[in-house]
Structure 1
Amino acid sequence: MSQSVKYVNPEGACPAQGLYSHLARVKAGEMIFVAGQLAVGADGGVVGVGDFDAQFKQVFKNLGDVLKGVGCDFNDVAKFTTYLVASQHIPGFMRCRAELFPSLFATDMYAPNTLLIVDRLVKEEFLIEVEAVVRARDPDSAGDKA
């Protein structure tokens, strides 16, 4: 697990309302701001039209690919911002996170997340978009490509 990012729920804070921590402590270093990732497949087409679970999985696959491309992984994420197009997708979002996150993160502490409901995304077929703020690995870390 990255020692540059530590997830914390401070004493006295109310319980988190989902699979996230109240804050991330980030050691000084280069920050990477990852654009919102959508359910776009390798061919450029929309994956899972009308299928929230399929879109969720594709979004996090795309995020993982972007992180890997700069020598990072999900343990380097300082914060997510998630956009859903309908509040009815919140239960599915919570379920999908509970199923996927244990395989993405080294511990049961997860990055802070802000969840927003918006009117629509860049294409009406998209149901979810997730962006991230990431602490880059030190240049001397193995696997750093950026």
Structure 2
Amino acid sequence: MSKLSHPQPEGVAPGNGYSHVATGPGRWVAIAGQVALDADGNFVGFGDPAAQARQVFANLDACLKAAGATFADVVKLNLYVTDIGYLPAIRTVRDEYVDTTNPPASTAVQVVALFSPNALLEVEAYAIVDA
């Protein structure tokens, strides 16, 4: 069972698919922004935001496991997308990984470009695990 807390701040409208606040005791884990690269460094899902999101969240899952964490420990996700219109497809995949009852805090930003023109999104995560 997660020791994370998701208090709803007074005077702030509830988030739609995210929490405004996520906190908990333990060890801080920062996961660098992940893009849709497979284990061999090849892009997956050219032009397909859902396919890229599946690879990105699989990469995040692997990174969390390497740190002794799971998505249940994630307190914050930052999503960078080249087209904000991709968010519904990305959120569908995200919801396969996160607790939609108590989702992590989240930020989504449209950017002009990412490191490669093949990358449609990049997602970084922050987690808190038992010390």
Q: TM-score, normalised by structure 1?
A: 0.81
Output one character per residue of 1:47-75: Cα deviation in whole Å (capped at 9) or x when no partner: 10111100001100000001111111011
The aligned counterpart of 1:132 is: 125
**2:17 corresponds to:** 19
Distance 2:91 2:62 in 1: 22
- The code of the aligned residue for 2:76 comes to K
5+ unaligned residues in a row in structure 2: which ranges?
none
Partner of 1:58: 55
Is 1:19–1:97's contact at 8 Å kept on the other side of the alignment? no
Indicate the residue corresponding to 2:2 in structure 1: 2
- Rg (Cα) greater in structure: 1
* Cα RMSD, aligned residues only: 1.6
The whole-number CA distance in structure 2 between the counterparts of 1:34 and 1:21 is 19
- Are 1:76 and 2:73 an aligned pair? yes
Q: How many residues align?
A: 131
Q: Tell me the secondary structure at the aligned position of residue 35 of structure 1.
A: strand
Q: Is residue 2:114 matched to residue 1:117? A: no
Q: After TM superposition, which residue ranges in structure 1, 4 or more long, deviate above 4 angstroms?
A: none
Aligned to 1:93: 90
**Identity of aligned pairs, percent?**
37
Counterpart of 1:2 in structure 2: which amino acid?
Answer: S
